[in-house]
Amino acid sequence: MAAPWDSELIRRQRQSLGVYQAQRCVDTHCHCLPGIDDGPSSLEESLALCRALVQQGITHVIATPHQLGRYEGAVSAPVIRQAVKTLNESLLTERIPLTILPGAEIRVDERVASLLQEDELMTLADRRRHVLLELPFDLYLDLSPLLAQLQAMDLRAVVAHPERNRVIAKNPERIRSWSEYDPILQITCGSVVGRFGPSVQAASFALMDLGFQALLASDAHDTQGRSPCFAESFAAVNNHFSFYVAQRYCIEAPLHLIGGCPEPLGETTSAGKAQLA
């Protein structure tokens, strides 16, 4: 018989899930695999991060180590799949009630589409439906050509932390031209609670009100400066919009990315799609 989960962790996890009024909670962006990128450098640090995620009510995590950019050639799809398998085994041994799924955060590059076809790059939860793209932070890139390529491959882009791009933060309207490709905007939890400053916080809410589908994710790297703050960000979205919107962004939309939300995602904010029409 399997060992029971750590009872204190289960208690904290259920407490947070009770606040969200949810059975499951998915973090779709997390650097939790040990020794692979700029996340935890050891298994111990990785397990500490996993415990912190559980305390925030998280039940499933898509591990998203960096691919391309400065990690070019260092983090392959087979390496990620194996690291996820090994971490899941450790979570069972340590009685930590969390399931890790494989994925990646891919630095935007003209080779993304072809490398996805060659299975060099990972899709989210390895489902070949969603691709998490990372923009440079200081430079605006029009993603439209890449979004079109992905759409032709029946893949939907999830754009990581657009609010932390300096150009987009100053002018969120700039990304309206992407709307015909229907990317999902993935806002970092720390952004909505002000960890990256007031302008990034304001840009987060402005982007969420543009009419794109959006969701929140931790982008956690450790238990110190880049720790998960899912509960705090749920509260921030609840305060800014409503409980309904917080559930959409923090619970239902992330669940959809792992195939756990059968209903199509609806519009979420007051402005919604009317602004795009």
Q: Which is nearer to Fe ion, 83 or 245 (CB)?
A: 83
**Nearest residue to Fe ion, by Cβ distance, number only:** 219
Nearest approach in angstroms of CB 24 to Fe ion is 22
Q: Which is nearer to Fe ion, 132 or 245 (CB)?
A: 132
Nearest approach in angstroms of CB 66 to Fe ion is 7
Q: Which is nearer to Fe ion, 186 or 268 (CB)?
A: 186
Q: Which is nearer to Fe ion, 183 or 211 (CB)?
A: 183
205's enclosing H/E stretch is helix 198-208
Q: What is the dihedral of CA 191, 194, 195, 198, to 10 degrees?
A: 100
Nearest to residue 254, comparing CAs of 101, 90, 70, 73? Answer: 101
Q: Which is nearer to Fe ion, 105 or 252 (CB)?
A: 105
- Write out the residues near Fe ion by the rule CB under 5 A: 105, 219
Nearest approach in angstroms of CB 266 to Fe ion is 27
Q: 99 with 114: CB under 8 angstroms?
A: no
Please report the sign of the dihedral spanned by the C-alpha atoms of residue 14, residue 41, residue 229, residue 62.
Answer: negative
Nearest approach in angstroms of CB 239 to Fe ion is 25
**What are the beta bridge partners of residue 62?**
101
206's enclosing H/E stretch is helix 198-208
DSSP for 5-16, please give it. Answer: PPHHHHHHHHHH
Nearest approach in angstroms of CB 141 to Fe ion is 17
